[in-house]
Amino acid sequence: MKIVVLSGGTGTPKLLQGLKELVDDLTVIVNTAEDIWISGNKICPDIDSVIYALAEIIDDEKWWGVKGDTFKTHEQLKRLGFDEFMMIGDLDRATHIFRSELLRQGYTLTEATKKLKNAFGVKAEVLPMCEEEVATIIVTPQGEMHFQEFWVKHKGKPEVLDIYFKGIENAKATYDVIEALEECDGVIIGPSNPITSIIPILLVRGVKERLKQKKVIAVSPIVGNRPVSGPAGKFMRVKGYDVSPLGVADVYADFLDVLVVDNSDVNLVGNYKGIEVVATDTIMKDKEDAKRLSEFLIELL
């Protein structure tokens, strides 16, 4: 079975640890709107987390960075008076250098990502959503800031007035993304932040119309009226969506066939605006949970 997964950087990588064991032909299309150049290198937080999760080297307490990484270079840079606002591990930085050198040599991000995931021994295909640079900008009373500044530097605390994706109007689906979407048997949208991880992928020219031709299943990252982790609730509210699994269904209403909610939201099972709502355990504490949820999703497809 050929399956395409749309992914951000926390919830979906957890799920991928299950899917990779069960699907032979797996392609992950990853959000790149949180990418940022720091200390001379391009960081693709969601691509890195997807690759690290698939390679089983992700720090599975924090769900970013490499397990057991050290921060010696980061600490030395700070000591030298260089303000590196993101905590970048030494092993993690090697990934960023690898990628950035390839980009400087003229490789595309798609090519650089393939070389990187192959170097980590990852079998699944990992594709950036587009080649063009897109930046998630958070509008706050203190001014506009990049998503990473909001989330890492300001710890997600500022009031959020609006969110927009700088450069998204130029973003078009790559040949690889189009081919994956056209040839797959179905699409899974993992439990990722609908606003900042999935909407950017949906806004890439060429993606949405192809999703409309396929069976699409989404796992809700919202359980009850709260996200399992991260700022998804705050962002959904700002964009006028209800912070609930059905609010997630509203974000994907144009093309979604099935919404998977947690068993604790079993009261939502049925039909919502033509979308089938089903329930199972969606909280992934370990790989076994991820595998069980993956089996459920494959069965649905």
**Which of 229, 254, 263, 288: binder of ligand GDP (CB under 6 A)?**
229
Tally of CB atoms within 10 A around 83: 8
Task: CB nearer to ligand GDP: give 183 or 216.
Answer: 216
Contact 291, 18 (CB under 8 A): yes
Contact 276, 286 (CB under 8 A): no
Task: CB nearer to ligand GDP: give 11 or 89.
Answer: 11
Q: Could you say whether residue 230 binds ligand GDP (CB under 6 A)?
A: yes
Tracing tokens 């949906």 back to the chain, one arrives at: 202
Q: Which of residues 188-207 bind ligand GDP (CB under 6 A)?
A: 191-193, 197
Q: Could you say whether residue 17 binds ligand GDP (CB under 6 A)?
A: no
**Which of 50, 259, 284, 297: binder of ligand GDP (CB under 6 A)?**
284
Tracing tokens 């030395």 back to the chain, one arrives at: 76
Q: How is residue 54 annotated by DSSP?
A: H
Task: CB nearer to ligand GDP: give 37 or 82.
Answer: 37
Greatest alpha-carbon span in the chain:
59
Task: CB nearer to ligand GDP: give 97 or 283.
Answer: 283
Smallest gap from residue 174 Cβ to ligand GDP (A) = 20
| Separation of alpha carbons 280 and 98, rounded Å | 40
Q: Which stretch binds ligand GDP (CB under 6 A): 5-13, 70-78, 83-91, 210-218?
A: 5-13
Q: Could you say whether residue 8 binds ligand GDP (CB under 6 A)?
A: yes
- The 3-class secondary structure across 204-267, one letter per residue, is CECCHHHHCCCCEEEECCEECCEECCCCHHHHHHHCCCCCCHHHHHHHCCCCCCEEEEEHHHHH
Task: CB nearer to ligand GDP: give 2 or 285.
Answer: 285
Size of the site for ligand GDP (CB under 6 A): 21
Task: CB nearer to ligand GDP: give 107 or 187.
Answer: 187
Q: Could you say whether residue 244 binds ligand GDP (CB under 6 A)?
A: no
| Separation of alpha carbons 258 and 218, rounded Å | 6
| Separation of alpha carbons 133 and 6, rounded Å | 18
**Which of 23, 218, 232, 251: binder of ligand GDP (CB under 6 A)?**
232
Q: List the beta strands (DSSP E) in 77-225.
A: 125-128, 135-140, 143-146, 162-166, 186-189, 216-219, 222-223
Q: Which of residues 36-65 bind ligand GDP (CB under 6 A)?
A: 46
Smallest gap from residue 230 Cβ to ligand GDP (A) = 4
CA angle 197, 139, 146 (to 5 degrees): 55
| Separation of alpha carbons 282 and 50, rounded Å | 19
Smallest gap from residue 266 Cβ to ligand GDP (A) = 14
Smallest gap from residue 231 Cβ to ligand GDP (A) = 7
The footprint of ligand GDP (CB under 6 A) covers 8-12, 14, 46, 191-193, 197, 219, 221, 227-230, 232, 282-284
